């Protein structure tokens, strides 16, 4: 599966695949054969382009809870990075509703499995609004801020297209 590797402000698309019997690292679209073996939990032996590198991975903290952060210790020092699942990036991008309200849109085509709110409901930040099935996975959409459900543009069992409006949120009355 593709992931976005985040190192500082840089974002790099990476994927580790098994092509034609060979492990392959795809780094920003460029494929390179790699021999990757876990020698003990959290410690890896990596041979890439004829060069052998021992890597120790430890969990690290990141301000964004949706990212999996790591500290990689190599022969020349330690590096911190984070990995982002592309599905979570799409879901985060779909959360266009903010504190002043807004429209929650579908990041991909799918089917609305369950509506968890109705028009007029007051919602809290992080409250589940609906469940969308896409690519054989169920994705839960949550309110990015407190507000009121002004309009539901989808129905349970209905389908949505990419960028289609699903829920319109308005601000809470003062």
pLDDT in tens, 97-147: 443 457 888 888 899 999 999 999 999 988 999 999 987 888 888 888 889
CATH T-level topology, domain 3-84:
Lipocalin (2.40.128)
3-state SS, residue 92: helix
- pLDDT score of 74 more than 60: yes
Distance CA 3, CA 6 (A): 9
pLDDT confidence tier of residue 171, bands split at 50, 70 and 90: confident
* Residues carrying CATH 2.40.50.100, the chain: 90-170
- Report how many helices (DSSP H) and strands (DSSP E) the chain contains, helices first: 1, 16
Backbone angles phi, psi at 130, to 5 degrees: -160, 165
pTM summary value: 0.47
pLDDT digits (tens, 9 = 90+) for 92-105: 555 544 434 578 88
90-170 carries CATH number 2.40.50.100: yes
Which run of H or E residues covers position 19? strand 10-19
């Amino acid at each position: 599966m593709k992931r976005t590797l985040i190192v500082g402000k840089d974002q790099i698309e990476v994927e580790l695949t098994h092509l034609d019997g060979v492990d392959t690292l795809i780094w920003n679209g460029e494929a390179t054969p790699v021999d990757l073996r876990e020698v003990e939990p959290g410690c890896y032996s990596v041979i890439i382009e004829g060069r052998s590198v021992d890597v120790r991975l430890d969990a690290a903290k990141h301000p964004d809870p949706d990212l999996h952060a790591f500290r990689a210790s190599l022969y020349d020092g330690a590096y911190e990075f984070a990995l982002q699942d592309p599905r979570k990036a799409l879901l985060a991008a779909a959360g266009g509703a903010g504190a002043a309200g807004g429209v929650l849109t579908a990041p991909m085509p799918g089917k609305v499995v369950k509506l968890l709110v109705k028009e007029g409901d007051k919602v809290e930040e992080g409250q589940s609004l609906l469940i969308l099935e896409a690519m054989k996975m169920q994705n839960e959409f949550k309110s990015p801020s407190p507000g009121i459900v002004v309009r539901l543009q989808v129905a349970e069992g209905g389908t949505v297209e990419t960028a289609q409006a699903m829920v319109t949120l308005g601000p809470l009355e003062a």
